Amino acid sequence: MHYVLAALIGLLIAGASPASASAYEAITVTDGGTLTGTVTLEGPVPRPKGYNLTTLPDPLYCGRISDGRGWRILQPFNVGPAGEFRDVVVYLEGLDKGKPFPADSVPRIEAKDCLFLPFTTVVRDDESVTVVNMDPVMHDIQAYETSHLGPRVLFNVPLPMNPAHPRNFKDRTDAALYHRHMAGAPMKELVKLSKGRRVFVMQCGFHAYMESWGVAVTNPYFAKTDERGRFTLTDVPPGTYKVVVWHPYVRTAIEQTVTIGPKATVETTIAVPAPTGRLYANEVLEHDYVRYSVTEEQKKEIEPLVHKQEH
């Protein structure tokens, strides 16, 4: 279970509000309005996570994205220079009817360069998510939800490699220089959360730095913020609703009430206070090699050929 469980207990309970008990009804919305806005992070961006690649499988291939010293950095907070909070989910609560869900609403998550992409996903409870391995190394999925009793396993399955990938590289240069991404057999898994729970997390059982978080919605009025921290929700039936901003490592509820009139456009700005303190057990270390006794030779073997990360 690696480092996930410590983050799950106590983190996800405040991460999303309980699901509505009533079923959502799809109707034709003729006088719907639009909600658009910006989400910002206020305060210092939290420190990232750090994983020593020499202690985990496939360090040479996965180390193509690393800091040049043998570490993979995972920054859960995607924040622009002016505080633009990117890739956070914004959704509305309080709707029991409105526009239909998209016809093809099964989200796809890819394992690519030893990352689960995207980092955050919007799903529908009691429906499926598709996960695909694009890498020439083995991955698997360990997916959990939380409850007042602690984490519960949703599914735990291997992610097949594409059989056209080479399985035995001659040396470390071959492994590091191999750049082809080909889809393995897609794994379609049901997301069935316990009553009142909305959030789940996936982690690779081999590579602990591979994380992907999902939030389940009860209506199609949701969006993820773009590079400018912007979002837009359209065809909203006139009414007063709760706007919820969700990020897996923001522990407090971020909510706002909005009233949308017929065919009106409402603009809003939502500021999220940056979390403080230590958010995870594997926070990136200042003196990272003292703990692991990594040799200079080991550091030289792991080359960030795809992206050199900064701490």
Q: Over the stretch 43-64, which tens digit does the pLDDT of each residue have?
A: 999 999 999 888 899 888 999 9
**308 is a domain residue:** no
- The domain of 33 spans 4-303
Token pair for residue 8?
A: 């799950």
**310 is a domain residue:** no
**309 is a domain residue:** no
**77 is a domain residue:** yes
Tokens 């270390």 belong to residue: 285
Tokens 């029991």 belong to residue: 96
Q: What is the Cα–Cα distance from 127 to 129, expressed in whole angstroms?
A: 7
- Reported pTM: 0.87
Token pair for residue 95?
A: 């709707």
Question: DSSP assignment of 96-145, as one string?
Answer: SEESPPPSS---EEEEETTEEESSEEEEETTEEEEEEE-SSS-EEEEEEE
Confidence of residue 87 (pLDDT cuts 50, 70, 90): very high
What's the number of domains the chain is made of?
A: 1
Mean pLDDT for all residues in the chain: 87
Q: Which residue spans within 8-82 are E strands per DSSP?
A: 25-26, 33-42, 49-52, 65-66, 71-74, 78-79
**126 is a domain residue:** yes
**231 is a domain residue:** yes
Where b means 16+ CB within 10 Å and e means fewer, 81-117 reads: eebbbbbbbbbbbebeebbeeeeeeebebbbbbbbbe
Residues forming beta bridges with residue 231, ordered by sequence position:
37
**137 is a domain residue:** yes
- Mean pLDDT is lowest, of 5-14, 34-43, 151-160, 174-183, for 5-14
**206 is a domain residue:** yes
